Structure 1
Amino acid sequence: MTRSRRVLLLNAALGLGIAWFCWVGAHVPWARSDGDRSTYDGPRNREPGDGRGPFDRGDDAFQAVAVSWVAVPFLLLLAAGVALRWRWPRAAFVACAVGVGGFFGVTTFFGPVLLALALTVYPMAATLPVRRWVGLLALLVPVVLAAHHGEAYLGALDPILYAELVMAVAFAVLPALLALLRRGRREAVLRDREEDRRRTAYEERLRIAREVHDVVGHSLSVVTMQAGVALHVLDKQRAAGTPVSPEVSESLEAIRRSSRDALAELRTTLGMFREPAGESRAPTAGLDRLDDLVGALRAAGRRIEVVRPPDPGPPLPAAVDQAAFRIVQEGLTNVVRHAGEARATVRILRERGALVVEVSDDGPGAPRLEEGNGIRGMRERAASLGGTVTLGAGAHGGFVLRADLPLVDLDHPVTA
């Protein structure tokens, strides 16, 4: 049996128990046969038959009250409200208020029945915002007035009416206050946990940023410096009349430019890690830098072809633009590392509401089917956007990397 069913059965039993108790309690002789509401205040030298106690056996003693069967439907409605109080809190409270008011209308005021109202107020205060249920507490007034429907001005001249109103409000407000206090404490604990999680994540980002800066940043700085030194030596040799291959100068210049750009981008990315909220307004790399990426590889002697549609179409969402560039960058890196002198082709097109990024080559593809961190990173980037990455051998040999990225932006939808 599921937990929700157990809770429903327990509350149903509780509601029926309260209804039975109210039915039995309504038959207790709370009033004398002449209608006087005098209450029993102890024996204190009273003689039997003086008519002032519930256990008196005199002619004017307290008599058992005959309760009409009309009260039964109201008691069942009360029980239903208690049973369903966690599933439909507001409807359960209204049903319980109608049941209690109807019970008062056909019997008389019976304080313990207000326990049912208290039980239905608590779930409202525990699960709903205050503005959605506080107005329903106004039903307490007609509920109490129902017990005085036979009196002049609905019992407005009877001081007991106001005592009963105070009792009804107390029965309803105290559980609500307890529920609000408990919910406030629970929300405070959740806020503290979330703050601790954010602080821990921020500290971890700072640690990663320091490590990456110390390792990668230092290495890129050394590469840039060494490339600059080599170019300076080549310039001196060229000035001295020593023949120098132009390919060497172009390769060294490409190395220096690429390492310098990578270092600048690394600093920008690490700056995002240092933001407390994990966000930064600094521009990120997108497909607008594709020409620079391809140009650097071409300068190093690589044969790379870029295929794009003549009409670029609407601007890409920022997340898709960045992911597409990173996937192309990783795909070309894999070509350089694994495909030897193979020729690479980059295709970027839109089809069926998605941006398709494809990097292929004509080199050997089988040895690269094993996935490493780079391919896992591409899959994660695509999956975060609801896209996919597929890899495999091409139709005419080589290796093909394809990413399908949905063109969906919550603020500005883009269609192909």
Structure 2
Amino acid sequence: MSGIVPVRRVRRFLTRRPRPLVLLDFALAALLCVGLLWADGLSDADRAVDGAHVLRVVGIVLAALTIAARRLRPRSSFAVASLCAFVVSALGGAPQISVCVALTAYTVAATAEYALWWVRPGVASLLMAAGVSIGNDSSGWVAVLVANVAIICVGWFAGLAAREHRNRIIATAEQEAERERQQAARVRQAAVDERLVIARELHDIVAHSMSLIAVRAGVARMVMDSDPAQVAETLGIVETTTRQALHEMRLLVEVLRHEHAVDPALTPTPGLADAAALADQIRSAGVDLRLDVRGTARPLPAAVDLSAYRIAQEALTNVVRHAGPTRATLRIEYRAEDVVIEVTDSGPSAPRRRKDAALRSAAEPGTTAGHGLIGMRERTALFDGHLRAGPHGSGFRVQALLRTGEVQPHDHLVG
């Protein structure tokens, strides 16, 4: 069984698709082998074939073979090439064998990083210098030594440069991949934020309209027999409220369908300019509402205007839902760098006050708030604002401040 494993490895090596660069190394090794043998034959033409000659030929062939294996076993190839260069040079062979050492040195330097990087080229250069000084007795041996050592060093430093270049390419690719991941994360976060905005819009539209419809339907049921005229009026209010809610939801759906829509008519963006119409809707639900606008009304940024309107709408819807027929005030105060929305009610009657006490306590700071108050807090936070909601006398007060410009947040709301 042990003999099968090497056979399988040999078969896998022979049948797998060869790498193009390895094939190129084999061709380069063959050319170098022929060239070095020819140069060695010229330098040894006047000497007879002996053991030294055979050893030089073997050393040249082995040095050439290290070129073919330098990508598969870089460090081993470099070591064998350095030893062969020493032997061939010491026996007076062709000093051009230093090219084999330089090529293997390039591969070693390009494929790995070493703490003592100068040790390997230093040892190879010393071996080459020793071989040249031993085997060359001509007057120009110093020049030959310097040239061969320079060739080895050039190969090594070229490998270092190639590795640094490759590392820079890899780092650039990783940075690009990281930027793409961050961009994808920003896109996902934008989608999440957009879903939250849509959820808030749907909540405000549906909760406000359904609360008004529920209140008016209850009134109609109680006076069905005694006051038919009021029933007809209530049905008209229900119809108007339903149509308006459907219209706003249809506009919201159109915005979702048309991602790049630029028609402002497709964008459901009511604002504080519609506060009077909102007050009329609340009055139709039986709330004695007083609208108090302070300061000079001015155009607000679209996002601030919509959020301020939705906060007022949600606060008044809570008045209808929890206090029922009562007195309330909607105060809108325009200031230089912010706008304040305040909704105050007198509270429900005694029986209903006892019924809704638990619901109202949830809105106090430090306790769990309903989805309406959560949405209002999120809207104010978007514009560095504040929201206060809690009991006020026998009733309830919601006070919100939204910034209309890039200023530092105020410490307190207006009382």
**Which is higher, the Rg of structure 1 or of structure 2?**
2
State the TM-score, normalizing by the size of structure 2: 0.49
